[in-house]
Amino acid sequence: MVELNPQQQQAVDCLQGPLLLLAGAGTGKTTVIVQRIANLVRHGIRAEAILAVTFTNKAAREMRERVSAMLGIQGEKITVSTFHSFCAKVLRRHIQRLGFSRNFSIASDSYQNGLIREVLAQEGLAVPGNDPALFLHRIGLAKAALQSPEDISSQDLPWAANLALVYRRYQLRLQQMDMLDFDDMLCLTVKLWQDCPDILQSYQQQYSHLLVDEYQDTNIAQLKIVTLLAGKTANVAVVGDDDQSIYGWRGANLDNILQFEAYFPNAKIIRLEQNYRSTATILQAANAVIAKNRSRREKHLWSKQPCGEKILGVCCQDEVAEADFLAEYISSQVEDHNWRDFAVLFRSNHQARLLEERFRKAKVPYILVGTNSFYQSKEILDVISFLQIIQNPSDDLSLLRVVNVPPRSIGDSSIAKIREFRQQTNLPLQQLLRNDSVQQQLPPETGKNLQAFLGSLDKARQAFAYPGDLWQKASDFLTEVDYLNGLGRMYKPREDALRRRDNVLEFLNALAEFEEEQRGHATLQDFLENFALQDAQDKHEKEKDTGDNAVTLMTVHAAKGLEFPTVLLAGLERNLFPHQRAVEEGNEEEERRLFYVAITRARKQFLFSFTHKRRIMGKPVAVRPSKFQDELPEELVVYTTPEKAIRPLTQEEFNQYWEEMQKMFEIGKQS
């Protein structure tokens, strides 16, 4: 039997009425959830009457396994599900009451995009500036907030009328084709239960006790599902931590947890604050940072563990030096640890490119989690394809990949015909498509756009015929074919498009860095050859069996829920973390929660790095430390250089460096 602390035991013993369990990072919430479910069964609650809901299939599977291990056959009778899986089952049984077919299909992302494009075309809205992905993202947010097209049209926003029209037509087309999108599963379950109280009552009778994990991540539709199902008896326990609410950009509503008592009067609130993961130093730092937020419930993490090592702040010359330092630091420590004991976290996906590159060079084994490998992401493969067909006009496969990227009115039928041309002749496509007889077999607009694209390739090929200026030439070409702006039309939500744009800009930085290494005499062919060899080496290295004994590279978002003995956070700089766009949009508190999540992943040591300058748009730019550094208690942080981080400083060296750092911070505050 697991020994519980008093607050954990109190939560396990609270079996009736509404319960808000505020579970801070590392406070053993999963153990409490499983023990509480087991206690319900031990007190006579039928296993079939318990519904536990979480957000991911992985979390649901792990919870189900732990409950079954504790309760045996009884545990298998408990319903453990994600919100969407549970709602899909409800709708599959009853959706005909709403006028839909029970044989509905769920629309994929690409299908939804195609449908939005069709609606925009039908309504005469398929014009520059009307991004299908943005329409789809806003419709998704509206559904998460249970807003109808009529609700949208009543808003005093410049795009509200068009959005309401597209939303309405989009929903009509979905229903005509017996399709639901992902968000429909939530909002239609709400509508079903509101319109058909007999169906709601049947589920209330089936499930007498409801438990919801990760409650801070719920949106308004999910809140409504919980309140409807809980009913008047309100035997609902929710587990969450408002300090770890980091998904507002995709519709999560922080007020669901902050205003819990408004939805469930007389709710009992229990705080889990004893941390079993981190040292006292790490917890003191995390507490100090998150206390700066105003929209939160008061909590104070503490631990019986000793203070442990101080937090290390390392200032590097630039991002290359930073990545090299992180690799070297981990290598210097690994003799007494395993590679898997280290995690390198970063705010934005585009930071992964340089980390991967320098870790490979330093022969530090790593795994990239929570994102595709930088060089395998679609937008980077697109850019590589562009460069390949500039360098090699005979590369037909790369041409077919990007001939309609971004969309330039070269439809599927035209691409199919182009593929037919390719099969009928041995001529390279770039040569074949210039043939007048071939052009006459294509729609006039398609032929015109193809010739414009081929002209852009010719222009770039002439520019790349001479060494040097690789970054500028590649940037000019991507501008000419409207690729960077086109990302906004190809991807939703807007944040995804901007993230991919950042990745492309980071890739262009790789061109500039390569040219510097070649002393300005690099050609496009040199770069592509180096890239191909590096990629082949990467694949070869990944075939080796490391037994998962590797450093973890991941975004802070992806690290939520995980823990490591040593956590290294890269790029704690102004405009990078907190992210400039988030601050401009009024989301600084969510950025601070994200920083809190980063700190509380560490068990023994937390280290952050930052730079004097960072390459932006291909050019080195001076940068300043993040304001979050100012929020860390001064007595808990030791600032040092990369060299001294690996070799401890003498007291005299530390005093001198600390004076320099204080001057740097003062300059940063004044700018």
Q: Are residues 434 and 528 in the same domain?
A: yes
Are 638 and 655 in contact by the 8 Å Cβ rule? The answer is no
Q: Are residues 426 and 489 in the same domain?
A: yes
User: Does residue 282 fall inside a structural domain?
Assistant: no
pLDDT of residue 307: 92
Average pLDDT value for residue range 54-75: 86
* Band (423; pLDDT cuts 50, 70, 90): low
Domain end position, chosen among 127, 157, 177: 177
Q: Are residues 432 and 452 in the same domain?
A: yes
pLDDT of residue 641: 87
Q: Are residues 308 and 346 in the same domain?
A: yes
Are 120 and 166 in contact by the 8 Å Cβ rule? The answer is yes
Q: Is 214 considered catalytic here?
A: yes
pLDDT of residue 487: 92
pLDDT of residue 651: 67
Q: Are residues 402 and 512 in the same domain?
A: yes
Residue 508 class from Cβ within 10 Å (0-12 exposed, 13-18 middle, 19+ buried)? Answer: buried
Q: Are residues 267 and 312 in the same domain?
A: no
Catalytic one of 181, 183, 214, 322:
214
Does pLDDT of 541 surpass 60? Answer: no
pLDDT of residue 418: 80
Tell me the pLDDT tens digit for each residue of 359-385: 999 999 999 986 556 777 889 989 988
Grouping H, G, I as helix, E, B as strand and the rest as coil, residue 194 is helix
Are 178 and 80 in contact by the 8 Å Cβ rule? The answer is no
CA 512 to chain centre: 27
Ranges 310-314, 318-322, 423-427, 502-506: which has the least confidence: 423-427
Are 71 and 80 in contact by the 8 Å Cβ rule? The answer is no
pLDDT of residue 212: 96
Catalytic one of 16, 30, 518, 534:
30
Q: Are residues 587 and 658 in the same domain?
A: yes
pLDDT of residue 543: 34
pLDDT of residue 277: 94
Q: Is 213 considered catalytic here?
A: yes
- CATH number of the structural domain spanning residue 51: 3.40.50.300
Q: Is 459 considered catalytic here?
A: no
DSSP H/E element including 623? none
Average pLDDT value for residue range 469-496: 91
pLDDT of residue 537: 38
Catalytic one of 7, 8, 27, 29:
29
Q: Are residues 81 and 138 in the same domain?
A: no
Cα distances (angstroms) measured from residue 29 to each of 25, 26, 36, 282: 9, 8, 10, 19
253 vs 173, residue with greater confidence: 253
Q: Is 183 considered catalytic here?
A: no
**Domain span at residue 15?**
6-91+187-272
Q: Are residues 317 and 219 in the same domain?
A: no
Q: Is 341 considered catalytic here?
A: no
Does pLDDT of 318 surpass 80? Answer: yes
User: Does residue 429 fall inside a structural domain?
Assistant: yes
Task: Report which listed range, 103-112, 147-156, 587-596, is most confident.
Answer: 587-596
Does pLDDT of 597 surpass 50? Answer: yes
| Interaxial angle between packed helices 109-122 and 132-144, expressed in degrees from 0 to 180 and rounded to the nearest 10 | 110
> Residues 399-422, buried b or exposed e (16+ Cβ, 10 A)?
bbbbbbbbebebeeebeebbeebb
Residues 6+ apart with CB under 8 A from 137: 492, 493, 494
pLDDT of residue 422: 66
Q: Is 96 considered catalytic here?
A: no
Stated pTM of the model: 0.74
Residue 114 in tokens: 């195609």
Catalytic one of 54, 222, 244, 281:
244
Catalytic one of 489, 500, 601, 624:
601
Q: Are residues 561 and 625 in the same domain?
A: yes
Catalytic one of 181, 213, 589, 590:
213
Tally of structural domains, the chain: 4
User: Does residue 669 fall inside a structural domain?
Assistant: no
User: Does residue 280 fall inside a structural domain?
Assistant: no
Q: What angle do CA 363, 364, 368 make, to 5 degrees?
A: 120
Does pLDDT of 535 surpass 50? Answer: no
Does pLDDT of 340 surpass 60? Answer: yes
